[in-house]
Amino acid sequence: MQRTTVIQPTTTVEELVQQEEKANDKAIWVVFRKMLVFTVMLTVAPLSSFFLSKYYIFEGMFDMTNSNSHMYAAFVAVGIVHVILAAFLFVAFRDDTPAKKSKLELLKEAAGKKD
């Protein structure tokens, strides 16, 4: 007498959906952290670079007048803003997600369903 066994799936569709939702929530927090870091950098870095370069570099080392040191310190701050924006664009457009399909998408394709 032969015994036939039925192989039960180890994961259900609901479990796959929950895994996808957890992955999406994690991705949202990653994006939020990046935005928060760049927002703080865009606030703190130009202001600190302006005042540090004005007082310590242009007025302290180069003995410039007040108006000239303001102008050159503003150039430094604008340059810092551009560097931070370029870094943000690089990070934003870099592809962090893998190219492989998720388990849920593979299951939908196997069942022939499309959303």
- Look at residue 18 in the predicted model and tell me its pLDDT: 82
* Residue 8 DSSP one-character state: P
* End-to-end Cα spacing for the chain: 45
Q: What is the pLDDT along the chain (115 residues), one digit of tens a residue?
A: 566 665 556 667 788 778 888 888 888 888 899 999 999 999 999 999 999 999 999 999 999 999 999 999 999 999 999 999 999 999 989 866 555 566 667 667 777 665 5
What is the 3 state secondary structure string of 31-83? HHHHHHHHHHHHHHHHHHHHHHHHHHHHHHHCCCCHHHHHHHHHHHHHHHHHH
- Look at residue 34 in the predicted model and tell me its pLDDT: 92
Q: Is the full-model pTM beyond 0.85? A: no
- Look at residue 94 in the predicted model and tell me its pLDDT: 87
